[in-house]
Amino acid sequence: MIKSFKDLEVYKESYVLATEIFRLTRKFPKEEVFSLTSQLVRASRSVPANISEGWAKRNYENTFKQHLIHALGSNAEVETWLTFALDCDYIDKNTFQKLTGENSVIGRKITKLHQNWKSHEK
């Protein structure tokens, strides 16, 4: 039974991915701290943050769904920043494929949650 946003599989997976990305970016060059590193970390953290914020407003179906749309936007942004990291040789192809694969799964789960969510007024 889902009692909290922390019970949502997509929240848990997006939180783990954001943490993994944060740890990975610690190895990026220092000159990227205020650009690529910052953007990638913020985008990845935005996914679970939007899911949790939306969950708090889940009784308002359109509001919850809007937060899921924001999470999807951040999810797409993560892929873009990972592509930059690959092209700048900050990550290797295997790491890129692993992270973008996980990110794609998360995006599909957010989409499914968005499509299937129905709020029930109390």
Where residue 83 sits, what CATH number does that domain have? 1.20.1440.60
Is 75 inside any structural domain?
Answer: yes
Q: How high is the pLDDT of residue 122?
A: 44
CA distance 12 to 74: 16
- Please give the average pLDDT of every successive group of 10 residues along the chain, which has 122 residues: 92 98 96 94 98 94 95 98 98 98 98 85 47
Structural domains of the chain, count: 1
Going from the C-alpha of 3 to that of each of 39, 45, 114, the distances in angstroms are: 32, 22, 18
Q: How high is the pLDDT of residue 117?
A: 85
Is 121 inside any structural domain?
Answer: no
Q: How high is the pLDDT of residue 107?
A: 98
Is 1 inside any structural domain?
Answer: no
Q: What is the dihedral of CA 52, 53, 54, 55, to 10 degrees?
A: 50
The first and second tokens of residue 93, run together, are 């192809």
Identify the domain containing residue 75 by its residue range: 8-116
End-to-end CA distance of the chain: 18
Is 103 inside any structural domain?
Answer: yes
